[in-house]
Structure 1
């Protein structure tokens, strides 16, 4: 069995992971970006950084064989797991029943693609005042998953995710940084992200050929002027400006946005058109979008 806990629950160790995988004929696939965590200390660290407490509503994307799943349930939280791989989704309830039987009534798994899931399909989360996302995300789709969930679930107020280190750096980057780009700015539309620690390769099976890191995110509070609901301009125009500004990073804003931004908008927004997109923060993109909207009114 895994690592014994005071409440009688257990976490998965390397031997447990390999046994469950062998029993089910499961091998980690590149298609789904699967690297399973085999170290109980690592999943506990993730849950601790996420600040999950008893009674919290939590979403996990890509639970895999259940390493992080059990660590989340260990806190007493209610967990909804979204798993794209049918054999893994089918096995997960059995693993919870075996290792943490007292948590089965606080756990549910949905066999779906997280990029396609909607609030109506996850009523437990949709009806909650707020919920948090805690996940070891597949490296190849981490950014679109985060942005899609933030867009669809207005009550997703925080997340703590493990992603490829380079992705973590992009998500938390500030203007002027070499890795600052569309993910950095779009995430800043919703709230504040920061990198909160690195994770070694040896805690995974199979070990990836890249390093991993943790990113923590807090959505802007409802009464914060930066909250999207309090902005005078919508997300679509702002994101359109962001995409165009970074499509050709070396171009000035004037050149990159000439088909979108009307004459006089830069001056109205107080932005020098000879700057490049990589120097603008989210508030400046919002100011530019607002100027465009006002001039076209």
Structure 2
């Protein structure tokens, strides 16, 4: 079968990134001895139009410092460098972390100073490890840890005003689901703790190498400009256990599901009524605000 026609940008004027296509991605992978692994969730985007669409959906511009998680071979990184002030790329794979600056220097020589690579695990990276405070998260997240990474970064980096992430389509549906939807659950409620969440598009399998077995989706989170509740660690430690308990046994009423959290079913009922919630309701019917009210009854 012939190699797909490259959609990469040809090398252009200094200061403009030459984006990667299928052929370039394979050449770079071979050069660095990269064999994509399931363990790290590595599927590299090789379609220039897709990365341009992601950047557009993110709404980032010259005033933004963008955090990119898992930059891989640099497909999205190059597209971001074209339009933002700087990119802080967090990469756990040491080979990829070491290779990325060279790729950017080759394909966007006038933009190389905008890139900062941090070798770290995005599940554990702290604000203090980053060279600059990011204003936006734009990333093709590893699918096996997408939700924990997103929630960790929203919690750890309060300066993030927006997040545009590519995740498995089913995960995108869960994150953006409203109360009452059949896939509404813990990810939906916890993402809604930080801001408004919506689907921002779909991405097919053929723009990746290797081709994944699942479709992908884009999700956008816009942090509340004026948070309706505190989002600090202490408040999260009160609210998130209530959410976890409510969904641990989805078929039970909240009175029964929250008995362990409250100490007894009777105490769960008292707290539910104090928060204006029907004790016979189920967890999937409550929005994030209701869970916050309930946690404050503890």
TM over 0.5: yes
Cα offsets for 1:90-131 (capped at 9, x unmatched): 100000000001111110111110011111111312xxxx61
Aligned to 2:43: 35
**Paired residues of 1:54 and 1:77 also in contact (CA < 8 A):** yes
Displacement after TM superposition at 1:260 (Å): 2.3
**1:179 and 2:179 matched:** no
CA distance in 2, matches of 1:15, 1:267: 61
CA distance in 2, matches of 1:8, 1:285: 47
CA distance in 2, matches of 1:244, 1:151: 20
Aligned to 1:282: 288
CA distance in 2, matches of 1:32, 1:169: 22
CA distance in 2, matches of 1:80, 1:159: 14
Aligned to 2:3: none
TM-score when normalising by structure 2 = 0.92
Aligned to 2:212: 208
SS in 1 for 2:261: coil
**Paired residues of 1:10 and 1:70 also in contact (CA < 8 A):** yes
User: Cα gap change, 1:290/1:76 in structure 2, threshold over 3 Å: closer, same or farther?
Assistant: closer
SS in 2 for 1:267: helix
CA distance in 2, matches of 1:9, 1:136: 19
CA distance in 2, matches of 1:44, 1:206: 20
Displacement after TM superposition at 1:185 (Å): 0.3
SS in 1 for 2:247: helix
Q: How does 1:178-197 map to 2 (within 5 A)?
A: 178-197=182-201
**Paired residues of 1:168 and 1:215 also in contact (CA < 8 A):** yes
Task: Structure 2 unaligned segments of length 5 or more: list them.
Answer: 1-5
**Paired residues of 2:163 and 2:220 also in contact (CA < 8 A):** yes
CA distance in 2, matches of 1:238, 1:151: 13
- What's the RMSD between the two structures over aligned residues? 1.7
Aligned to 2:76: 68
**1:108 and 2:108 matched:** no
Cα offsets for 1:172-199 (capped at 9, x unmatched): 0111111101010011111111001101
SS in 2 for 1:10: coil
**Paired residues of 2:179 and 2:286 also in contact (CA < 8 A):** yes
Task: Structure 1 unaligned segments of length 5 or more: list them.
Answer: 293-297
SS in 1 for 2:101: helix
Displacement after TM superposition at 1:219 (Å): 0.6
**1:264 and 2:270 matched:** yes
Q: Which stretch of structure 1 is more off in the superposition, 265-274 or 30-39?
A: 265-274
CA distance in 2, matches of 1:259, 1:38: 49
TM-score when normalising by structure 1 = 0.92
SS in 2 for 1:242: helix
**1:24 and 2:42 matched:** no
- Say how many residue pairs are matched: 285
Aligned to 1:295: none
Q: How does 1:67-216 map to 2 (within 5 A)?
A: 67-125=75-133, 131-216=135-220
Large movers: runs of 4+ above 6 Å: none
CA distance in 2, matches of 1:76, 1:220: 22
**Paired residues of 1:62 and 1:82 also in contact (CA < 8 A):** yes
